[in-house]
Amino acid sequence: MAADKTYDAIVVGAGSVGNPTACFLSQAGLKVLVLERRPAAGQGDNKAAIGGVRATHSDPGKIMTCGESLKIFTNWEDEYGFSVGWKPGGYCFPVFDDQIEGVLKGILPIQKSHGLEIDWVDADRVADLCPGIIRENLRGGTYSPIDGQVSPLLAPVAFQREAQNNGAEYRFNERVTGYLRDGAKVIGVKTGQGDYHAGETILATGADAAEHGVLLGLEIPVVPDVHEAGISAPVEPFLKPLVVDLRPGPEGKTANFYFGQNHEGQIIFCYTPRELFPGTNRESLSEFLPILANRMISLIPRLKNLLIRRVWRGCYPMTPDGVPIIDRVKGVDGLMLAVGMCGQGFMMGPGVAKNVTSLIVDGTSTLPDEVHACFRFDRDFWAAKTEALK
Amino acid sequence: MSDRRIDSHPILPPLTSERIDFTFNGEALQARKGEVISSALYAAGISIFGHHHKDHGPQGIYCVNGQCSQYTVVADGRPVKSCMVPVSPGMSVQSCEDHPALSEVEASASSPDVPDIEVQVLIIGGGPAGVCAANELGRLGIECLIVDDKQELGGKLGLQTHNFFGSVADCYAGMRGMDIGTRLAEEVGALPTVDVWLDSTVVGAFCDGKFGVAGPQGYRLVSPHATLITCGAREKSLSFPGCDLPGVYGAGAFQTLVNRDQVRCAEKLFIIGGGNVGLIGAYHALQAGIDVVGLVEALPRCGGYKVHEDKIKRLGVPIWTRHTVLRVEGDEKVERVITAAIDDKFQPIAGTERAFEVDTVLVAVGLSPVDELLVKAREYGMKVMAAGDTNEIAEASAAIFSGKITGRKLARDLGFDVPIPSDWESFGEMLKHHGSEPVAYEAPVIDTPVYPLLRCVQEIPCNPCIEACPHDLISMPGSILALPDFAGLCEGCGQCVIACPGLAINLVHNDYDPTGEKALLTLPFEFEDEVIPFGAEVVTTDMEGNEVGTGTVIAVRKREDQDRRKLLMLEVPGTDKFLVAGFRIREPWQGEPVEGEAPDADPMVCRCERVRKSEIVTAIRDGVRDMNQLKAVVRSGMGGCGGKTCTELVMRLYREEGVDPSEVTQPSIRPLVAEVHLGDFVRTSDKEGD
């Protein structure tokens, strides 16, 4: 029984946000405890990610946060000698119609204004980046070479190792059942195995954020829905960028789909359903493979010869406006929210973790105030959505 | 081009299919029409199918069942499982070096609208259990669909050239497995409500209550009201230095090559494991003209039936109990196997190492149920049952009976009033009996002119001898487990010698030489004539294979009604007549002592991703207790087989490292249970309208 231990910070959840947060907090010298209900780090929706990491969003907060993530991921192996499976190659959005061309070209100025290396490329260049792509009606597309892919399997191991090297303590198979309060202030957590005290408690509970909100007496507007993904056996490297096809599918089920070849040579793929699957059922559906196979083969016919190895589902913890919550809660000291990553937790995680560390250690965001404003807990979540590219 | 095909076989009819041309890495070769690529390559003497991307390790066959990941070749530009895909005329096959490239293909119209077919009962796996269940259900007019990934029904029965144990009345005992398979398939084929999809792989159970099936008619979903999972078993694996060399593979894989495709895939064979699969594998090898150099068993006694064991010992195959294989050596192929005696703690005893020159090592260390679909279907609350090896590993005769019972249970569940006789359950259990401790054999002294010696010393479920005797002189008190008794006046017809699945009965002809100087024995024999020619002098052995003396073959009786079992008349000295139970077809050889230190070696554990023991042990010592995290760190279990081969081996490493298995989180099971092409999931114009 590890009752009544005291830490500087307790991170609840060792997923795509909690795990790097523990890493950077412990690097900053804090005594950190990580509590995870699953048996190991990154075993929830983190490993369900397909691993794409791009800074090329349209929302400044996401652009800057993912820019930070990219920096961390690209340098990780040099800095720590442990591979996170980083594969450069960028993101390519091939375009076949006016409407999508308009959207993508429309956000280029804001993306460029944040220093992002992204531009419109012609059809030949897209065909060069995506060998075998159907040329009919291909108008070109956007390409952002500095984006890339990271292994959602290796990254959690990397962050956990570095956190533990800095003294962070991980406790697995231990579910947080309540929060310790001193008046309004959160002073720690309660689990089936004891109470743990800390000056700061960081909520990084992904799809379970709302349930933890209930324990805290807070309404955290995070509602999960489920997305499905799959992976092939490895093939000879031929596809550099992660490819996003924003066209809705003729079958009426897909809003868009995307895929890439990872550092192992495997093709990893996913689609955004037109009609969402709310909930947390992470078991696979029969309709996924026929729908996605048809879309992939219709875009790049040679993909039909891929041997398909595995499929799975993972949760997108959605906020009403599609933007995460990275904030303290007014009137509740000792609590930091880092939740509602809206399916982008893996790519945002390291950047969010840097931000949370800065908020806790220095009391300031890594982002300018006006940019960080979009992550505030007290924002109007139901204001008109302005983000063009989610 | 070497041709390693079996031209004549004592049991199997010759394959008559025409030859078709194909190429491997540009070399012109021939295959039999319908033959899978791996068998055609083996028949041409090619055992290396490519090299692994991680360490360039040579890749060859392992399971020949579409389950392991060492099968990949590139056929006409697409990576395929060589053990599942038949050669087509003119096919260009390339070895898979590192990663296969995706070659360019023409665009064609496709659609994601796959058929969703409702059936009353889906039976996954058309082996003995599945087919027998379908027979029960089909006879009641219940609509069933059998899906099987092979070209014909019967499962592994088709590989079993030997006569089966069990009960004559209840599970076809005495017939050869392959003939039982044919009969069951014919029975099921005559039932109008039973539909069969062959060459079709169930790739997964999905949480919406459907199964996905990839096959020649395109991808189809099946929504069953009830499901019976009879997927059989897969062979357990072993990790030792050299276990990953091409030429080390499963005994079931061997039986597929030899008995289904009639490929003489080895010259000299060594077998690990003295269960029924290993023992009968040795017998099948000898029948195919492959020399069996030896067999090791770690336990003090073979786990298989004693009659199987004795049968191969008599033929001259040494069985080394309390021995293990230390390593297999060779450069990209098996060249020799090194064995050693082991102590009570299964540790090798220094100084007992022996080397045997062989080209093939079979792993026959037991079976595990193929139950991934069962686990998921149960998890999803689907109405599901299992039978045969998927439910419990046992002999095929038990699977036949288990299919029968489960078929009726399922029918009752569906509201059909069909009886299940009260003794069926206990009889089914009896068929799973592994055999009692053997007793010593003592030949009875009988002075009638001719009589049989029933060398049956172990209780096993088996009764063909009592049914065989036309005068009912053989009896079995109590159950089919009991040892048979003989009493009365034998006429020497030899029916019992022909019927005994264990080849454990021989006749003694007392009247052959009134002086008693010589005696004549009738012995069962299932080899080609030239193995022991008429007039040959042979080395005789006792029941357990110990040398007795010599004998001369004076006649061979091979009538049509003997089910391909010959009766060999052997003249022996009169003093040997009770002792001699067989004769050698090969000289046993004890190997060479091994000098010097064993080389440092780090055995392969995960064959798909080529992860070695040291990598996994390091992770275990680093504190990894979740196998899903282990997959992430070292990639064991991330390959084509999805951890089916290595999970047990990894668990063994956990135990060796002193980790309580209850601390270890087992890997998640997710679709697909077998790799299929992305293109298999869509409907293309050539697949529509079936």
Residue B626 β-bridge partners: B665
DSSP-derived secondary structure letter, B272? E
| Segments of chain A with pLDDT less than 50 | 1-3
Dump pLDDT digits (tens) for B248-273.
999 999 999 999 999 999 999 999 99
pLDDT of residue B688: 43
Helices (H) and strands (E) in chain B, counts: 15, 39
* Percentage, residues of chain B above pLDDT 90: 92
**Tokens 């009033």 correspond to what residue?**
B417
Residues B564, B553: Cα–Cα separation, whole Å: 18
Nearest Cα of chain B lies from the Cα of A194 at a distance, in angstroms, of 20
- B 627-646 residues with CB below 8 A of A? 628-629, 631-633, 640, 642
Structural element, H or E, at residue A125: helix A123-129
* Partner-chain contact A294 B624, CB within 8 Å: no
Task: Report the distance separating Cα B565 and Cα B524, nearest Å.
Answer: 7
- Find the residue in B nearest to A301 (Cα): B107
Q: Would the CB atoms of A232 and B78 count as touching at under 8 Å?
A: no
**Cβ-based contacts of A271 with chain B (< 8 Å):** none
Q: Residues A244-255: pLDDT tens digits?
A: 999 999 999 999
**Domain assignment present for A123:** yes
Question: Does A236 contact B100 at a Cβ distance shorter than 8 Å?
Answer: yes
- How far apart are the C-alpha atoms of B204 and B188, rounded to whole Å? 25
Same domain, A347 and A212: yes
Q: B608: nearest CA in chain A?
A: A233
Query: Smallest CA–CA separation between A229 and chain B, in Å?
Result: 11
Report the topology of domain B258-365: FAD/NAD(P)-binding domain (3.50.50)
Q: Which residues pair with B401 in a beta bridge?
A: none
Q: Taking CB atoms and an 8 Å limit, are B677 and A311 in contact across chains?
A: no
Annotated domain spans of chain B:
1-100, 116-233+369-431, 258-365, 450-583, 606-663
Per-residue pLDDT averaged across B221-249, rounded? Answer: 96
Tell me, yes or no, if B440 comes closer than 8 A to chain A by beta carbon. no
Contact B276, B305 (CB under 8 A): yes
Q: Does residue A276 sit in the same domain as residue A311?
A: yes
User: What digits encode the pLDDT tens for the residues B610-647?
Assistant: 999 999 999 999 999 999 999 999 999 999 999 999 99
Domain assignment present for residue A57? The answer is no
Residues A214 and A330 in one domain: yes
Q: What's the whole-number mean pLDDT along residues B401-411? A: 97
CATH 3.90.420.10 is the classification of domain B116-233+369-431: no
* pLDDT of B595: 84
What is the helix (H) or strand (E) element at residue A326, kind and residue range?
A: strand A325-329
Q: Has residue B124 got a pLDDT over 50?
A: yes
b/e code A11-39 from CB counts within 10 Å (16+ = b): bbbbbbbbbbbbbbbbbbebbbbbbbbbb
pLDDT for A79: 97
Q: Which residues between 283 and 302 in chain A have a beta carbon less than 8 angstroms from any beta carbon of chain B?
A: 283-287, 289-291, 293-298, 301-302
Give the model's pLDDT for residue B1: 42
Question: Are the beta carbons of B207 and A309 separated by less than 8 Å?
Answer: no
Tokens of B59: 């890749």
**DSSP label of B149:** S
Tell me: do A116 and A99 sit in the same domain. yes
Lowest mean pLDDT among B167-171, B292-296, B542-546, B676-680: B167-171
Instruction: Give the whole-angstrom CA distance, residue B83 versus residue B101.
Output: 20
- Asked if the domains B1-100 and B258-365 are classified in one and the same CATH topology, the answer is no
Tell whether A137 lies on the interface with B, counting CB pairs under 8 A: no
d(CA B374, CA A90): 42
Inter-chain CB proximity B681 and A43 less than 8 Å = no
Q: Do A311 and B671 touch (CB under 8 A)?
A: yes
CB contact under 8 A, A290 and B204: no
- Mean predicted confidence (pLDDT) in B445-472: 95
Cross-chain CB nearest to A233 (options B379, B380, B640): B640
| Number of domains within chain A | 2
CB contact under 8 A, A298 and B206: no
pLDDT tens-digit series, residues B337-350:
999 999 999 999 99
| Set of chain A residues whose Cβ sits within 8 Å of the Cβ of B79 | 233, 235, 305, 307
Interface contact A283-B624, CB threshold 8 A: no
Interchain pair B665, A39: CB under 8 A = yes
Same domain, residue pair A230 and A342:
no
Instruction: Determine the angle formed by the axes of helices B613-621 and B627-634, rounding to 10 degrees.
Output: 120
- Give φ, ψ of B331 to 5 degrees: -100, 100
Q: A194-203 and A185-191: which strand pairing?
A: antiparallel
Between the CA of residue A135 and those of A132, A259, B37, B242, B534, what are the distances in Å? 8, 18, 35, 49, 75
Q: d(Cα B487, Cα A223) in Å, to the nearest integer?
A: 81
Among A157, A289, A291, beta carbon nearest to B632? A157
Domain final residue pick, A317, A336, A367: A317
> Domain range for residue A312?
88-146+224-317
| The model's pTM | 0.95
Eight-class DSSP state of A347: H
Question: Which of A280, A295, A317 delimits the end of a domain?
Answer: A317
Q: What is the pLDDT of residue B596?
A: 78
| B206/A contact by beta carbon, under 8 A | yes
**Which chain B residues contact residue A312 at CB under 8 A?**
670
The answer to whether the beta carbons of residues B143 and B154 sit under 8 Å apart is no
Smallest Cα distance from B610 to chain A, Å: 14
Tokens 């950047």 correspond to what residue? A351
A168-197 residue pLDDT tens: 999 999 999 999 999 999 999 999 999 999
Contact with chain B for residue A157, Cβ under 8 A: yes
Q: Are residues A185 and A141 in the same domain?
A: no
Q: Give the pairing type, strands B518-525 and B474-475.
A: unpaired
Backbone angles phi, psi at B259, to 5 degrees: -95, -25
Q: Give B461→chain A minimum CA distance, Å.
A: 42
- Residue A228 CA to residue B407 CA, distance in Å, equals 36
Does residue A117 sit in the same domain as residue A161? no
Q: Are residues A157 and A136 in the same domain?
A: no
| Termini Cα distance of chain A | 45
Does residue A351 sit in helix, strand or coil? helix
C-beta of residue B148 within 8 angstroms of C-beta of residue B125: yes
Is B221's Cβ below 8 Å from some Cβ in A? yes
Chain A closest CA to B108's CA: distance in Å?
A: 8
CB A310 within 8 A of CB A230: yes
Q: Chain A contacts of B118, Cβ < 8 Å?
A: none
Judge whether residue B686 has pLDDT over 70: no
- Give me A28's structure tokens: 């900053």
To the question of domain B1-100 being in CATH 3.40.50.720, the answer is no
Does the CB of A370 have a partner CB in chain B at under 8 Å?
Answer: no
Do the chains contact at A308 and B677, CB–CB below 8 Å?
yes
**Confidence (pLDDT) at A4:** 55
Q: Encode pLDDT of B463-514 as tens digits.
A: 999 999 999 999 999 899 999 999 999 999 999 999 999 999 999 999 999 9
Residues A268 and A343 in one domain: no
In angstroms, the separation between the Cα of residue A17 and the nearest Cα of chain B is 17
* Residue A200 and residue A284 in one domain: no
Contacts of A297 in chain B (CB under 8 A): 110, 678-679, 682
Query: Has residue B36 got a pLDDT over 90?
Result: yes
Task: Judge whether A305 is closer than 8 Å to chain B, CB to CB.
Answer: yes
Task: Please determine, for residue B533, whether its predicted confidence score (pLDDT) is greater than 90.
Answer: no
pLDDT score of B34 more than 50 = yes
CATH number at residue A352: 3.50.50.60
Statement: residue B429 has pLDDT above 80: yes
Question: Where among A291, A317, A343 does a domain terminate?
Answer: A317
The answer as to whether A384 is a domain residue is: no
The answer to whether residues A168 and A261 belong to one domain is no
A250 at B interface, C-beta within 8 A: no
Tokens standing for A188?
């720690």
Interchain proximity A47–B672, CB inside 8 Å: no
The chain-wide mean pLDDT, for chain B, equals: 95
Amino acid at B133: A
- The answer to whether residue A234 neighbours chain B at the CB level (below 8 Å) is yes
Provide the β-strand partners of residue B350: none
Would an 8 Å CB–CB cutoff place A232 in contact with chain B?
yes
Domain match, A228 and A141 both = yes
Rg (C-alpha) for chain B, rounded Å, is 26
- Out of B99, B626, B672, name the one closest to residue A236 (CB): B99
Q: What is the pairing mode between strands A5-12 and A32-35?
A: parallel
CA distance A262 to A270: 13
Question: What whole-number percentage of chain B has pLDDT above 70?
Answer: 99
Is a pLDDT exceeding 50 seen at residue B361?
yes
Q: Which residue in B111, B211, B672 is closest to A294 by CB distance?
A: B111
Going A144 to A145 to A151 to A154, the CA torsion angle's sign is negative
CB contact under 8 A, A294 and B681: yes
For residue range B380-392, what is the model confidence (pLDDT) as tens digits? 999 999 999 999 9
